[in-house]
Chains A and B, each alone.
Chain A
Amino acid sequence: MNTNNNVYTVIYTTLIVVVVAALLAFVSQSLKGKQEANEKADTISQMLTAAQFGTKAEFQKMGNAAVLAKYAEEIGQAFTINLDGQKVQDLDLEKVFSPKELKRQNYNIKGGANKTGEPEIPVFIFKDGKTVVPIYGAGLWGPVWGYIAFEKDLKTVAGAYFDHESETAGLGAKIKDDPSFQAEFVGETPDFTSANVFEIVKGGAPKDAEGKSLVDNKIDAITGATMTSGGLDAAIDTWLGAYAKYFQGAAPKQHCGNCKHEGEGHDACEGEECDHEHQAEEE
């Protein structure tokens, strides 16, 4: 058989490409569900890690089902807001924002040619009062993203978790792998009034004689990973900037848990004690 014939060559290559494409499409379709489940569990475990319910390694050991169960147990409410801090719509508690959706919203926040609509960014509130919000941006080699958890007062950071697609192992990858970097965010109070909500800089915050930070929104950058640190800094500034109005007062009042009043929250919870009548208890 003459395999160098032109017609034969064209038919042969066409055939082999069609067969391979069909096979790959079939495999991709049949595995899609499992892959999405893995990605979802991964995203959820990142949020739970940020909210200090455990470490990422612990969640990894637990397996997907246990992570989802833990999330269902802890999550209180989830909704999206616009840049004015106003609630747009409730989110299905079963759903999470995948890195892909974060990327889309990142374009929407920043504007420009890739904008697909008005920004609609998610807020996740856990039953213990912690509020978790995502951040997303560009690192050195690929996207970086993560979750920052705030305490009930919406001022103090309770925890943070960052992930990346392809930062350098041992350097930029430390934003994910180095717990001490993430731990630096705990207890800090970001400055929502400035464009630099957080600053990730060499040396971190200036310290007084006892080693106590004098400024509350400066984080020590990672040695040898200037670009990744800078990218993460920009991502945090962009996203927390977008949430600024929400955190500065537009947030719905949290339910205090001290009374039996149903609903998301009410003015009475502002004080330390409920001032409305506890009818339910008295009756």
Chain B
Amino acid sequence: MNAKLKETILNPIFKGNPITVLVLGICSSLAVTVTLKGALVMALSVIVVCGISSLILSLLRNTIPGRVRIIVQLVVVAMMVILVDQVLKSFEATYAIDKQLSVYIGLIITNCIVMGRIEAFALGNKPWPSFLDGVANGAGYGMILFIVAFFRELLGSGTLFGIDILNRFGYVPNNLVILPPFALILLGCIVWVQRSIQKDLQEK
């Protein structure tokens, strides 16, 4: 694997993370991070949608009429989102979690990461790097989701993946942690940590 490809994969995970650096996909990261399970399914869905949409649009990139390219992107992304939703609804194991995430699966289409990466990367690059870029950005998004959900489920419900961790020690779940504002506070803390490690992100 050459250095450029490696950069394509690693950059979105930390240095150019879509949530903490590009500040995209904030809305859903506040909404679906109440439980780890929800965050995990959401992250996997975004990885699939982002990766495959990037791949398809990169394959089509030379044929797409310039004036309607956003519409074409939307059609492809919407298709992927509906497919993911339909598949999640069809399996016994994921039906309940799909019901819990409800509208947020459908709202992946409005997740700026997907359209942003297609517009910025997939339309100008070959299919394979585009696919990797999509997957890596989905993973970068998923990683932040996972960190936020870890703290929110632990402190808000006293559990991890639904398994009791703190409640047995008499912990009283904190209702504030369950509410979206706390996710924003947590995200702020993550951005703070990242910026203190990565000095070049700091504004002079």
A interface vs B, CB < 8 Å? 1, 3-5, 8-9, 12-13, 16-17, 20, 23-24, 27-28, 31, 34-35, 38-39, 41-42, 60, 63-64, 165-166, 169-171
In the bound complex, residues from chain B placing their C-beta under 8 Å from that of A5 are: 65
Given A17-B75, A24-B83, do A170 and B34 touch, yes or no (CB 8 Å)? yes
Question: Cβ of B184 < 8 Å from any Cβ of A?
Answer: no
A56, closest chain B residue (CB): B96
In the bound complex, residues from chain B placing their C-beta under 8 Å from that of A24 are: 79, 82-83
Pair B34/A169 contact, Cβ less than 8 Å: yes
Pair A166/B103 contact, Cβ less than 8 Å: yes
Q: A95 CA to B79 CA in the complex, in Å?
A: 32
Q: A1 CA to B75 CA in the complex, in Å?
A: 23
Partner of B65, one of A4, A17, A42: A4
Pair B95/A38 contact, Cβ less than 8 Å: yes
Given A13-B72, A27-B83, A170-B179, do A38 and B90 touch, yes or no (CB 8 Å)? yes
Q: Nearest-CB distance from B55 to chain A (Å)?
A: 15
Partner of B89, one of A4, A23, A31: A31
A-B contact pairs, 6 of them (CB 8 A): A12-B72, A20-B78, A38-B89, A41-B92, A42-B96, A170-B175
Pair B99/A166 contact, Cβ less than 8 Å: no
Q: Mark B143-171, 1 if CB is under 8 A from A, else 0.
A: 00000000000001000000000000000
Q: A42 CA to B89 CA in the complex, in Å?
A: 12
In the bound complex, residues from chain B placing their C-beta under 8 Å from that of A35 are: 86, 89-90, 95
Question: Cβ of B187 < 8 Å from any Cβ of A?
Answer: no
Partner of B67, one of A4, A20, A23: A4
Pair A9/B90 contact, Cβ less than 8 Å: no
Question: Cβ of B87 < 8 Å from any Cβ of A?
Answer: yes
Q: Mark B26-50, 1 if CB is under 8 A from A, else 0.
A: 0000010010000000000000000
Pair A3/B92 contact, Cβ less than 8 Å: no
A13, closest chain B residue (CB): B68
Partner of A31, one of B79, B87, B92: B87
